Chain A
Amino acid sequence: MPPRSPFVIAPPLGLSRRRFVQGLAAGGVLAGLSTPALRAFAQQGSATRGAAPVLKGTEFDLVIAESPVNFTGKPGVATTINGSLPAPTLRWREGDTVTIRVTNKLREATSIHWHGIILPYQMDGVPGISFNGIAPGETFTYRFKVQQSGSYWYHSHSGFQELTGMYGAIIIDPAGAETIRADRDHVLLFSDWTDEDPMRVFTKLKSQSDYYNYNQPTVFDFFRDASRDGMAAAIDKRKMWNEMRMNPTDLADLSAATLTYLANGVTPAGNWTALFRPGERVRLRMVNGAGNTFYDVRIPGLKLTVVHVDGVDVEPVTVDEFRFGPGETVDVIVQPRDDAYTIFAQAMDRTGYARATLAVREGLQAPVPALDPVEWLTMNDMMGSMMGGMDHGGSGQAMEMTGMTGMTGMTGMTGMGSGSMSGMDHGAMAGMNHGAMNHGGMAMDHSQHAAAAGGLAVPSTTARHARTEYGASTDMRVDMARTNLDDPGIGLRNNGRRVLTLADLHTPSGPLDKRGPGREVELHLTGNMERYAWSLDGLEFGKSTPVHFKHGERLRVILHNDTMMTHPMHLHGMWSELESPDGRFLARRHTLPVQPAQRISFLVTADALGRWAWHCHLMFHMDAGMFREVVVS
C-alpha cells in the first residue's frame, strides 16, 4: 500500500472498459497508511510495492476494519486486516505457540480461518461451527501450537468478507533446516475484487445465473461453425448442450464483467513487481486467495519448478504452467536470467488476468501475453469416462462436442438429453476404433471395481448417487466419472505447454498414516446452474446432516463431481491425502480441485476431535450450500 497516491482521481462518467479490466495503476487501499506497521513499511521504498507487510514472531495483533479502496476508478470499501490488502504476511516458526489477538472494528461479526493449519477446532475460526465469531468491538484471541511448516494463508470465514479483502499469506519456517533452497523468496497472492456488494452479486446470479457470462454461444457463432464445419456438425456441436439446458461456456460464475484480478492486491495496470538478481534461485510462494477465480499461471520464458503445494513439499516437477483454484497454494522455483518477465495469471474463463512482473529493478516490464481463446467444455467435462474411455482416458485428448457427431447409437443412453445419443452411427466416430477402445476402456473400468468389491485396496469407481440427487437441486449426474488425474482441465489441454496435473504431485515423505482405509465415504458435488443452487449429494448445507468420522479411523473419501464446474474442495482440520485411481498415495493436500465429471479419492486420518467445515472454496458455491459439517468424535 505504501507509495500509492491516497488521492486517486475518479475519472468522469463513462469508465472505459480497458480501465475497468486493467484496473487503475495506482489502485488499492487509499487510507492504508494509518497504522504504524504500514508507515514503517512505506519507508522501505518501492522495491516491494504492493506487497503486504510481514509480521513475524509469536504475538500478533490484527485489527479488522473497513478501508476505502479504488481499483477501477470507482471508490469502494474493502474489509482489511491492519489496513492492508492483502493482509499482512504472518511469519511463524514450526514448534512455536502463536498468539493472535483479532479485534473487530466492523459493524458486523467477523472471523479468521487459518487455511490448512492443523490446530484445535476451537481455533479454526468458522462461525457457527468452531466458535461464535468475533462480534463488533470484541477481541478474540487465537492461540495454538504451530505443528507444520511451509506456505499457507488465512482469510475471513464470515459472509463475503474474504471477497472484499480479508486474506493474507502465512509463511512457517521449519524448526529444522529449510528443505527448499532459494536465494530469494516472494509471496504472490492472487485474488479478485468486485466493486459490487457480493451479496448483490449473489442475488443477481440467483435471478440469472449466466448474468456475468459474456462468452455465450451466439447465432453468429453458429453460422461461422456451419460455414466452416457444415450445418450438421454445427447443429451436433450444440445439440446436447441445448437439450440438457447446459451452457458450454459456463466456466466461471463471475467474469471480468464484475471482477478485477489482483496480484498482491495490485491491478494488472499497477503491475506489482518482484525483484531478483540474475542467476538467483527465486522461490515464489503463490497463493490463490480469490473468491471465485481459478488462475492459470505461467511466466513466459521461464520454467516453473513446482516444489511445494498446499504447504507440503512435493518432488520437484518442472512445468510451463499450472492451474490453481481458491484455497490452493503452489510454490515454484524459477531461475530468471533476463531483466524482466511477466507473471501471467489468466482467469479460467479467459475474460481477464492478474499480472505481476519479475524484474531486476522496478519499472521494467516484459510483454504481456494475449488471453487464450475461450474453449467450450467438452464431452469429458460432461460425461466423464464414458467419453474418457474413448479417448484412451488420456489427459489432453479432450473430445469436443463435435466428437458427438454421429455417436448416436449408444442405445439406451436415454437420459442424456434423450435424443442426442440415440441412433448414433458408430462408423462416424472419426478415427475411433469403437470396439477396441471404448469397450476396452469400459471393461477395464469395470474390472477395476470388480476388484474393489473384494476390498478397499483401490477406490471404488461405481457411482453411488444419493437419492436426493434426482430432484430440483441437481441438474445432472455423471454415472461413469473419469478417474484419471493427468488432465490439466478445460482450456489447458493440448495448449503446447507442459501443464501441472494432480498426477504430477508426489509428497516425498509419503502418507502420514500407513494404514489403509477402513471404509469409504462418497460425496457427490452437485448443483443446478439454472437455479444457481450448489450442494453436496443434492442437499444444501441447511438440509444436511454432519459427516461423522470416528476418532482415530483412517478412511477414504471419494468426491464425485456431478457438475460441469471445477470445485476446490477444502476439508478443515485434517489432511486430504490424494491417491491415484489404483490406490497409491500421491500427495498431501488441504484443498483439492475436482474437475467436471471427475471422481477423485483421498485418505483422511480422523485424528482431530471436534467439528470442522468442509466445503467448496468458490465463495458463492460455499455460501449456496456446497458445504458440510464434519464431526470427529
Chain B
Amino acid sequence: MSKALPTRALATTLLALVSVAAQAQAQNDHAAHGQADAQTAAPSTQTVAPAADPHAGHATSASGSTAAPAMDHGNMQMQGGSAPPDARDPHGYSNGLTLGSGDYAVPGVPRLMLADEHRFFSLRGETLERRFTRKGDDSTAYDLQAWYGTTYNKAVVKAEGDIAKGKLEESRTELLWGHAVAQYWDTQLGVRVDNGEGPSRQWLAFGIQGLAPYWFELEATGYVGSGGRTALRVEGSYELLLTQRLILEPRAELQFYGKDDPERGIGKGLAEASAGLRLRYEFSRQFAPYIGVERAGSFGRTADYVRAEGGRAQQTRWVAGVRFWF
C-alpha cells in the first residue's frame, strides 16, 4: 500500500475524508477528484454511445483526420462506473450450460471448486501500543480488525479500546457484514457495543471502508443508538514508504455525536479527535514494531467533562507498539 506522494498534508486529508467517503458511497471513486464534477456524468455518457462501436465517430474522420474530434474520448473510463445497458453478457457464450452438468459431464464427479469459493481469515492488529503522556497517566491501547469470508462478503470484527491502570477505560467493538460494492470499497452493516466507564451503549452501524485515490485508507461509519443517539466516526491513514521496510504512517480519527451523553462523558458535536504519526519497521510484513507521537483532544462539551474530572482536554502522547497480522 504505497504511495510515495509525500505532498499531501495530513490536514488536507482530514478535510477530504468526509467528502471522499460520502462520494465513495455513490460508487464513483473518481468523484473525489478535482475535475470530477464536470465528469460525473461519464458513466451515463457511456450509455449513450452506440455500443457496437463507441468510437464510431472516429472512423468517419479517418481520412479527414482533424485532431480535435478524434481526441474526444468522452466516454472513456478505466475504473468504476456502471455498465451500459448493452454491455456484453458474461454468460452469452454458455448456450445455457452450467458448470459440471449437462453434455459430457462426468457422472459422479463434483464440480471443480477453486479459491474464489473458499473463505479466508485475517486478523490485523493495526495498533497495539503503550501510550505515554507527560502527566504520567499512561495507558495501553488496541485497534484490531479481523475478517472471515470471501472476497466480496466478509464477517468483520473491529475492536478498539484503552486500558489504564488495569481498567478498561473505554472500548468500541463492532460486528459487521462487509460487502464489496466497488473496486476499492466495502460497505459495512452491523452492530457496535461500547463498554468501559459509564453505562454500556449499543448501536446499529453502517459505514464504508476502503481505499481512496492516492492510497488513503478510509473508514467512515455512522451509528444509531437507543434514545435517539447518533454518532459518526471517521478514520483515515496513509503509508509513506521511506524504504521497503521503514514506513511512516500518518493517521487521524474523528468522532462526532448527535446528542450529549453525560454518563459517558460525551458531548454533542465533535467530541474527540486524534492525529498521529507512527514509524514502523517491517521485520516482516506481518510483524512491525513502531514508535510514534500523537496529538489527541476532546472538544466542546466533551472537553468540559474531561476537565471537570481533572483531565486535560488536549494532550500529546508518545506511543510504542507493534503492528501485526496473521
Q: What is the interface of chain A, defined by CB distance below 8 A to chain B?
A: 121-122, 126-132, 202-204, 206-208, 210-211, 214-222, 235, 238-239, 242-245, 247, 382-383, 386, 410-419, 422-423, 434-435, 438-440, 442-447, 449-450, 453, 462, 464-480, 521-522, 528, 530-533, 535, 537-548, 609-611, 622-625, 627, 629, 631-633
For A414, A477, A521, which residue has the most chain B Cβ atoms within 10 angstroms?
Answer: A414
| B103-130 vs A, Cβ < 8 Å mask (1 yes, 0 no) | 1111011111111110011101000000
State A131–B93 Cα separation when bound (angstroms): 23
Known contacts A622-B114, A624-B116: does B78 contact A442 (CB below 8 Å)?
no
Q: Of B83, B211, B240, B286, which one neighbours A219 at CB under 8 angstroms?
A: B240
Known contacts A442-B58, A466-B87: does B65 contact A472 (CB below 8 Å)?
no
Segment 139-173 of B: residues with Cβ below 8 Å from A: 151-152
Report B235 CB to chain A, min CB distance, Å. 18
- The verdict on B224 contacting chain A, using a C-beta distance below 8 Å, is no
Q: Are A121 and B76 in contact (CB under 8 A)?
A: no
Q: Are B109 and A476 in contact (CB under 8 A)?
A: no
Report A240 CB to chain B, min CB distance, Å. 10
- The verdict on B53 contacting chain A, using a C-beta distance below 8 Å, is yes
How big is chain B's contact interface, by range? 35 or more
A-B contact pairs, 17 of them (CB 8 A): A129-B109, A129-B112, A207-B120, A210-B1, A215-B244, A216-B244, A243-B214, A415-B81, A446-B59, A465-B83, A470-B83, A479-B76, A528-B183, A548-B95, A627-B112, A631-B102, A632-B104
Q: Of B4, B52, B94, B286, which one neighbours A548 at CB under 8 angstroms?
A: B94
5 shortest interchain CB distances as A-B pairs? A415-B77, A128-B112, A412-B74, A625-B116, A540-B116
Report B311 CB to chain A, min CB distance, Å. 37
Q: Are B1 and A538 in contact (CB under 8 A)?
A: no
Q: Of B2, B95, B243, which one neighbours A210 at CB under 8 angstroms?
A: B2
- The verdict on B227 contacting chain A, using a C-beta distance below 8 Å, is no
Q: Are A414 and B2 in contact (CB under 8 A)?
A: no
- Point out the residues of chain B lying under 8 angstroms from A207, CB to CB: 120, 122, 124, 325
State which of B9-17, B29-37, B200-208, B251-259 sits at the interface with chain A: B29-37
- Point out the residues of chain B lying under 8 angstroms from A535, CB to CB: 116
State A61–B152 Cα separation when bound (angstroms): 44
- Point out the residues of chain B lying under 8 angstroms from A442, CB to CB: 55, 58, 70
Q: Of B51, B94, B285, which one neighbours A545 at CB under 8 angstroms?
A: B94
State A207–B83 Cα separation when bound (angstroms): 28
State A539–B89 Cα separation when bound (angstroms): 11
Report A535 CB to chain B, min CB distance, Å. 8
Report A319 CB to chain B, min CB distance, Å. 33
- Point out the residues of chain A lying under 8 angstroms from B181, CB to CB: 471-472
- Point out the residues of chain A lying under 8 angstroms from B6, CB to CB: 219, 222
Q: Are A446 and B58 in contact (CB under 8 A)?
A: yes
Q: Are A470 and B104 in contact (CB under 8 A)?
A: no
Known contacts A206-B122, A410-B71, A414-B30: does B104 contact A216 (CB below 8 Å)?
no
- Point out the residues of chain B lying under 8 angstroms from A122, CB to CB: 106
State A522–B56 Cα separation when bound (angstroms): 19
| B213-237 vs A, Cβ < 8 Å mask (1 yes, 0 no) | 1110000000000000000000000
Q: Are B62 and A242 in contact (CB under 8 A)?
A: no
Q: Are A411 and B120 in contact (CB under 8 A)?
A: no
Q: Of A216, A472, A479, A609, which one neighbours B182 at CB under 8 angstroms?
A: A472
Report A445 CB to chain B, min CB distance, Å. 8
State A464–B92 Cα separation when bound (angstroms): 12
Report B183 CB to chain A, min CB distance, Å. 5
Q: Of B4, B72, B83, which one neighbours A217 at CB under 8 angstroms?
A: B4
- Point out the residues of chain A lying under 8 angstroms from B88, CB to CB: 464-467, 522, 537
Q: Are B30 and A245 in contact (CB under 8 A)?
A: no
For A235, A383, A413, A450, which residue has the most chain B Cβ atoms within 10 angstroms?
Answer: A413
